[in-house]
Amino acid sequence: MEPDMNRGVISAADGILGQLLESPTVKDNIRVLLNNLDPDSSPALVRTILWKDPEVILGLLGSLSGLANILIYALHEMSVQIPEKFSPGLLNAFIGSILKDIDSEKLNEAIGNMKPVIDGISPLVKEQWAIITNNKEGTQDGKDHV
């Protein structure tokens, strides 16, 4: 079989991850990694990404539309898969445990810090949102889902 040269990074990651997740060792390593996340180190990482080499952050920012579309497609697939696979009770318990561990004080500060940025771009966002929500052809039922 000849490889498909039109496959992108996400398609390749799906294939690789599918193979890796068959290994108990890989799953154990993922658990160890996720159990050792250190949110207090995030500010230093952000400063490194932003200021060590501005070309890198500008490249990342330039790919935001592609990254947003990845998240949109992933969210759409989750919206199909999750209701089929998980009961509301299980989801409520799981999400409740996640929400209680979120640093709400830091989240509130971050939202406040971003307010000037959000205010500055809000006219553009509102304009684009109006375009998106008026184009109902792409939705299943012609209704807004936000």
Tell me which of 63 and 6 has the higher pLDDT.
Answer: 63
Contact between 144 and 133 (Cβ < 8 Å): yes
Query: In this predicted structure, what is the pLDDT of residue 135?
Result: 63
The pLDDT value given to residue 146: 47
Q: pLDDT tens digits, residue range 115-131?
A: 998 888 888 888 888 88
Domain layout of the chain by residue ranges:
103-137
Residue with tokens 């799981």, as numbered in its chain? 94
Which amino acid does the sequence have at 53? D
d(CA 94, CA 42): 24
CA–CA separation, 15 and 26 (whole Å): 15
Greatest distance between any 2 Cα atoms in the chain? 54
pLDDT digits (tens, 9 = 90+) for 14-47: 999 999 999 999 999 999 999 999 999 999 998 9
The number of residues in the chain equals 146
Which pLDDT score, from 0 to 100, does residue 93 have? 93
Provide CB contacts within 8 A for 60, sequence distance 6+: 49
